[in-house]
Amino acid sequence: MDRAFFTDPHSYFGTNPRKELEKQDAELMREISLTSATRFPLLKAPSMTKASAFPKLTDKGGQRYVSEANPAIKFSHGTTTLAFVFKGGVLVSVDSRASMGSYIGSGTVKKVIPIHKYLIGTMAGGAADCSFWERNLAMQCRLHELREGKRISVAAASKLLGNVVFQYRGYGLSMGTMIAGMDEKKGPALFYVDSDGTRLKGNLFSVGSGATYAYGILDNEYDPDMDEKAAVELGKRAIYHATHRDAYSGGTINTFVIRESTGYEQVFKGDMNELHYGQYAEEAAAEAAAEAGDAKVSMDES
């Protein structure tokens, strides 16, 4: 099997605009070197690659995320994913809605992609891009494990993914993923990788159109020393608030925990509406009743 596609996709397809420009510049310099001073082509410049070779996401035509190459291609989408490191490992929580503009494409998307027993990735952006490249990463991690005799570190796995998508920068990929896992020696680790090749290490990330709402809960309640029960509840609540406020997020809340002893495990799966009208409605009613009771007591004392 020819694996040149994965190592150098531009050369494989013969579509690297930078190499084309370098080739044209070399031809121009060779022509200049063979030309006498009296015939120096002052006004000649290397020809430029067509703008369509560099697709960009812009606001062209009043639409969000429209390709410059083809205005009919619209990339409107949304999601909410989050992950954070806690005392017992790493927690990952996601929604399950896939949207295409104002149309809900699916309500049951699995946005957590297993890479191996101690490593998982999340999906935000283009579903096909995230799914394909994270499954390709799973293949590379398995090959590393077979070659080296030990599982790959979270940092190395995220670097592999970042290197691959960096080769496609400017070609229309849409990815905002988190690589979360448990290292054999260093313990829990979390990295953010996007389609521009950006790679960041941190203890807490939220990605997607509902990320600002999730951050509102996480910034207020996150504690790196919290236990697993508190971490699961925080992940559920943050995704719930995001799905409640963000039209592009919704469906089922899926929460995973990666432990050193057992690897990744799904610890919660539930519809956000059931939480809204069930557990959280009961908690709100109990708080309201408690506040009303305290107010009555204070009035009686006065």
Catalytic site positions: 79
The sign of the torsion formed by the CA atoms of 169, 171, 176, 179 equals negative
- What stretch of H or E contains 207? strand 204-207
Cβ distance 81 to 207 under 8 Å? yes
Which residues neighbour 296 within 8 Å (Cβ) at sequence distance 6 or greater? none
Query: Burial of 280 by CB count in 10 Å (0-12 exposed, 13-18 middle, 19+ buried)?
Result: middle
Helices (H), ranges, 95-126: none
Give the torsion through C-alpha atoms of 185, 193, 251, 270, to 10 deg: 10
Alpha carbons 113 and 177: distance in angstroms, whole number:
10
